[in-house]
Amino acid sequence: MAAIQDSTAGTATTVAGLESTFADELSALTVPWQGAAAPDPQLLVVNEPLAASLQLDVEGLRSVDGVGVLSGSTAPVGAKPVAMAYAGHQFGGYAPILGDGRALLLGELLTSDGRRVDLHLKGSGRTPFSRGGDGYAVVGPMLREYLVSEAMYALGIPTTRALSVVATGRDVRRSGAEPGAVLARVASSHLRVGTFEFAARQGEILQPLADYAIARHYPELTELPATGANNRYLRFLEAVVEAQASLVARWMLTGFVHGVMNTDNTTISGETIDYGPCAFLDAFDPSAVFSSIDGGGRYAFGNQPTVLKWNLARFAETLLTLIDSTPDDAISVASAILDTFDERYESHYAAGMAAKLGLVHPIVDRGLVDDLLTLLAQHGADWTGTFRALADELRGNSEPIDDLVPREHIEPWLQRWHGALTEQGRDAVETASAMDRVNPLYIPRNHQLDAALRAATDGDLVPFEKLLEVVTHPFDRREEWSDYTEAAPESFSETFQTFCGT
Ligand code: AMP
Ligand code: MG
């Protein structure tokens, strides 16, 4: 059983079971590094179920030595912490060296079901990749990542997870002084499209990286040959295209706006990563942008599938030399795989929308979905609230949907929807229950998250803890949680902005 143990001397800490296959096998992509000492580390939140699934002892994590490790102050005995190198296209422009400028890979752990995951720290101090940055992170944004990633997990959306946030006791300069913090994050891996962009330009390391990624994320492909028409690199590209098409469809179904879909924030595993400027839609609006630095709307809600496909094209480019030694042939087979993205995305989205509307897939009337989206956009209807309101309508309670879209405008659409349900022989009440199982009641609403993070930054964690409890039970209606289904006041939504890398 893995545990964080205090040594008798009280200075050395071990995290049993910590391995470092990435640092050992791909050292050309890492720089051994140590976190900055935190002046006064205090544990703000720790994820007990996640710790248990990693076979970590929660009491050990809460101990002085455990908090030392989670703050980056002390490296566990035998660990080989590294900063990972990567490149990336940011807002379309290529940055040849990004890398972990304020993060460290501590190592890897095996989950109780045998999966290898990374244990990673964010906000742990300057590294050789810091460029002009201070290497730190602050309490608000780290708790934001903690809460939103755990909400995504509870919604069943592939994501990195949060193990803990430790306040470091250091004042960090942002717009004013803010309390410093370190997030401990767990991910299937931290391999990104940007890791491949970096490796492809280094040359020799590319193939070992691709083989490592295949073994770790798509082990069913390891037996395929390295060359030939059905080589493993081509199938690897296809597997990543599929995983990411499925992921972005889940975002679109949930109203999630990532906010900074640079290629360094696009994973090879198909998990959502980096919750900097993300937000959830209140009113449905394809052009919704929340990030303060995305004036052009490149990463607007409705653009996400297109941008993802663009990122995957950058990924495909990195694999061309492995896919076929004749460049033209490599381009033609890789392009054919990329061209499957739209169909894959559409099929995941359509299946998800069918479930949200209580219909069996495939939906016969594709216009039914598009016409609903048009109505919701015209009336600025709350995305999350709409699908619960439709289930209520099936149970004979029309008030919720009437509050969102005036009856005279939605009535013809409701008639068509009822018609489709009847045609599919679906019982209304059973259908409503099935819809409630896929349509969340509680999401991290921007105004509530904002208020909780402000309070936490001022030292009051209670609103954060309560919101965390609610959004990690997104489908379970509880009377005392009714406030959490309320859309943001207009005065809030008009000015709400999110910030990157803060
Ligand atoms: P992100 O926008 O968080 O995905 O980060 C993009 C790049 O900026 C990565 O290379 C980060 O390591 C780096 N970065 C972000 N914030 C900081 C910071 N405060 N200090 C150093 N590097 C940073
Ligand atoms: Mg990033």
Asked whether residue 134 falls in the same domain as residue 263, the answer is no
Q: From ligand 2's centre to the CA of 230, what distance in Å? A: 33
In a domain, 274, yes or no: yes
Degrees (nearest 5) of the Cα angle 356, 298, 346?
Answer: 35
The percent of residues above 70 in pLDDT, for the chain, comes to 97
CA nearest neighbour of 485 among 494, 493, 476? 476
Asked whether residue 210 falls in the same domain as residue 180, the answer is no
Instruction: Give the Cα separation of 148 and 119 in Å (integer).
Output: 18
- Name the residues around ion ligand 2, CB cutoff 5 A: 265, 274
Asked whether residue 17 falls in the same domain as residue 159, the answer is yes
Instruction: Give the Cα separation of 53 and 186 in Å (integer).
Output: 11
Q: Which residues are catalytic?
A: 264
User: Which residue puts its alpha carbon closest to atom 2 of ligand 1?
Assistant: 501
Q: Residue 3: pLDDT above 70?
A: no
Residues belonging to the chain: 502
Q: Are 119 and 107 in contact (CB under 8 A)?
A: yes
Cα distance between the two ends of the chain: 37
Q: Quick one: which ligand is closest to 122's CA? A: 1
Q: What is the mean pLDDT of the chain?
A: 95
Other CB atoms within 10 A of residue 169 CB: 14
Whole-model pTM: value is 0.96
Asked whether residue 297 falls in the same domain as residue 206, the answer is yes
Higher pLDDT, 112 or 259: 259
Q: From ligand 2's centre to the CA of 372, what distance in Å? A: 34
In a domain, 356, yes or no: no
Asked whether residue 82 falls in the same domain as residue 163, the answer is yes
- Ligand 1 atom, smallest distance to 264 CA: 4
Q: Tell me, what's the pLDDT at 406? A: 98
* Number of Cα atoms under 13 Å in the Cβ half of residue 419: 9
Q: From ligand 2's centre to the CA of 501, what distance in Å? A: 8
Asked whether residue 156 falls in the same domain as residue 268, the answer is no
Q: Residue 4: pLDDT above 70?
A: no
282 exposure class (CB count in 10 Å sphere: 0-12, 13-18, 19+): buried
Pocket probe for ligand 1: among 94, 98, 190, 299, the residue whose CB has the most ligand atoms within 8 Å is: 98
Q: From ligand 2's centre to the CA of 270, what distance in Å? A: 15
Q: Tell me, what's the pLDDT at 362? A: 79
Place of tokens 């299946």: 351
Give per-residue pLDDT as tens, 165-215: 999 999 999 999 999 999 999 999 999 999 999 999 998 999 999 999 999
Least confident of 73-77, 79-83, 354-358, 363-367: 363-367
Q: Tell me, what's the pLDDT at 8? A: 39
In a domain, 354, yes or no: no
Q: Are 170 and 72 in contact (CB under 8 A)?
A: no
Asked whether residue 157 falls in the same domain as residue 292, the answer is no
Other CB atoms within 10 A of residue 113 CB: 6
The token duo for 90 is 């940011």
Asked whether residue 334 falls in the same domain as residue 377, the answer is no
Pocket probe for ligand 1: among 130, 266, 294, the residue whose CB has the most ligand atoms within 8 Å is: 130
Asked whether residue 241 falls in the same domain as residue 389, the answer is no
Give per-residue pLDDT as tens, 381-432: 999 999 999 999 999 999 999 999 999 999 999 999 999 999 989 899 999 9
Burial pattern 217-240, b for ≥16 Cβ within 10 A else e, equals bbeebeebeeeeeebbbbbbbbbb
Asked whether residue 168 falls in the same domain as residue 209, the answer is no
- Ligand 1 atom, smallest distance to 500 CA: 2
Pocket of ligand 1 (CB under 6 A): 98-103, 129-130, 133-136, 260, 264-265, 274, 276, 500-501
At which of 293, 313, 348 does a domain end? 348
pLDDT band at 446 (very low <50, low <70, confident <90, very high): very high
Residues in CB range of 126: below 8 A, 6 or more apart: 36, 101, 102, 133, 134, 135
- How many separate domains does the chain show? 3
Bond before 362 cis per omega within 30 degrees: yes
At which of 187, 208, 232 does a domain end? 187
The token duo for 218 is 């798509």
Tell me the three state secondary structure of residue 260: coil
At which of 187, 217, 238 does a domain end? 187
For 369, the domain range is 361-502
Q: Residue 268: pLDDT above 70?
A: yes
pLDDT band at 16 (very low <50, low <70, confident <90, very high): confident
Asked whether residue 496 falls in the same domain as residue 420, the answer is yes
Other CB atoms within 10 A of residue 499 CB: 17
Instruction: Give the Cα separation of 30 and 99 in Å (integer).
Output: 9
Asked whether residue 388 falls in the same domain as residue 326, the answer is no
Other CB atoms within 10 A of residue 315 CB: 24
In a domain, 353, yes or no: no
Q: Are 355 and 361 in contact (CB under 8 A)?
A: yes
Instruction: Give the Cα separation of 115 and 152 in Å (integer).
Output: 20
Q: Residue 248: pLDDT above 90?
A: yes
Instruction: Give the Cα separation of 271 and 209 in Å (integer).
Output: 18
Q: Residue 299: pLDDT above 50?
A: yes
Instruction: Give the Cα separation of 449 and 275 in Å (integer).
Output: 13
In a domain, 355, yes or no: no
In a domain, 306, yes or no: yes
Give Cα separations from 289 to 255, 273, 404 (angstroms). Answer: 12, 18, 22
In a domain, 99, yes or no: yes
CA nearest neighbour of 378 among 406, 354, 353? 406
Tell me the three state secondary structure of residue 31: strand
In a domain, 148, yes or no: yes
Mean pLDDT in residue range 126-131: 98
